[in-house]
A = this chain, B = another copy of it.
Amino acid sequence: MKKFINAVGDVEKEMIQGILKVYPDKIKAIDCDGVLIRKEKNENKVAVISGGGSGHEPSFGGYVGKGMLDAVIAGAVYTSPSADHIYEAIKSVATPKGVLMIPMNYTGDIMNFEMAAEMAEMEGIKTEMVVTNDDVAVDNSLYTVGRRGVAGTVFVHKIAGAMAETGASLEEVKAVAEKANANVRTMGVAINPSTIPAAGKPGFELLDDEMEVGIGIHGEPGVRKEKLKSANEIVDMLLEKILSDLDFSGSDVAIMVNGSGGTPLMELYIINNHVHDVLLSKGITIYKTFVGNYMTSIEQEGFSLTLFKLDEQLKNLLDAPTDTPAMKV
C-alpha cells in the first residue's frame, strides 16, 4: 500500500484536522470525532445534514457552508458513522425549523441516522429524512436494500441547502430534496481500485485491460468486469443505461462528470466532451456542467456520470449562491 499517511489509525482524525486548518472561517468541529459544522448558525432556517464513511472527499466536509450543509458526520473510511455522533451533530445545528437529514442509501448509514433521529425527537427536535439512491447500476447491492446513493447526492444537497436558505419549512425543504432525488441518475466505472488504509489491499483486482462497470463508491466491485473500451464507448454505455432509466428527452439537465479521486482532469474533460455531443444529439439541453472530483473513493481511478433533470424551481436553486470549500456559486 502506497499512501501519504502516518499511522493507519490516525487517517480520519488527521484528515479532519487538515480540513479544519484550511477553512477556519467556514467550518468548525464540535467535541465529537468526525463531526464538522457550519461556523455561523442561522436559527431561522432548516438545518440540512448528511454523513457517511470517510474516503469520499470532498464529500461531505467540503459542502458545509452557506447554501449547502449545516453539519456532516464522517465515520471511518467507508464505514457508517455511529448513531451517537449523528445525534451530537443534530443537536449542534438543530433550529426551531427542524433538521433535514440527507444520507445516501446504505443500510448501516440509514439505520444510524434513524436511531439518531429518534433520540433527537425525544428532545423535541423535529427531523425528517430523504435518502438518496441515484445509482442505476444495481437494484440491490452488498450494502443496500434498493439502489445506492452516489455522486448525484451532491445535487440533492445543493438543492436542499439552497431551499433551506430561503427560510422554507421542513416539509418544503424535504419535498424539494425528494424531487431532486427523483430526478437524478448516476452510473460509474473504474480502471483501478482504491485501498482502505486499515485493510492495506485493494477492494478488487483488475487485469491491465479490464474495467469494473457499475462501480459503487466504497471500493466494492461493480456489476461486471469488461475489457477497457475507449472513453466515448464507455460514455455511450453509461448514458444508454441512465437514459433508459428516466425519460430525459426534451429536458434541461445539469450534468456531473465526477472523478473517483485518482482520475486526471484531462480524462474527465475528454469524457465531458462526448457526453455533451451525445446529449445534444438526443435533444437534451445541458443547463450546467460540473466536471471534477465531487464524490470520490480515495485514490480509485474511475468516473461516474450524473444527469439531473431540471424544472424552473430546481434551476433557481442550483444557481442560488453557495459558499462552501468545494462548491462556490
Contacts and interface: CB of A to CB of B under 8 A. Distances in A.
Interface in A125-170: none
Interface of A is mostly: mixed
Most buried by B among A3, A6, A264, A296: A264
A263 interface: yes
A290 B139 CA distance: 40
Given A4-B303, A230-B5, A301-B299, A14 B264 contact: no
Each complex incorporates copies of this chain amounting to 2
Of the four ranges (under 10, 10 to 19, 20 to 34, 35 or more), the interface on chain A belongs to: 35 or more
Given A272-B22, A289-B21, A267 B2 contact: no
B191 A272 contact: no
Given A18-B271, A18-B273, A19-B269, 18 more contacts: A2-B209, A4-B263, A4-B303, A6-B230, A14-B274, A15-B266, A18-B268, A18-B270, A18-B272, A22-B272, A54-B266, A57-B264, A261-B265, A262-B264, A264-B299, A267-B299, A293-B293, A299-B301
Interface of A: 2-6, 11, 14-19, 21-22, 54-55, 57-58, 62, 191-192, 194, 208-209, 228, 230-232, 234, 261-274, 276, 286, 289-291, 293, 296, 298-299, 301, 303, 328
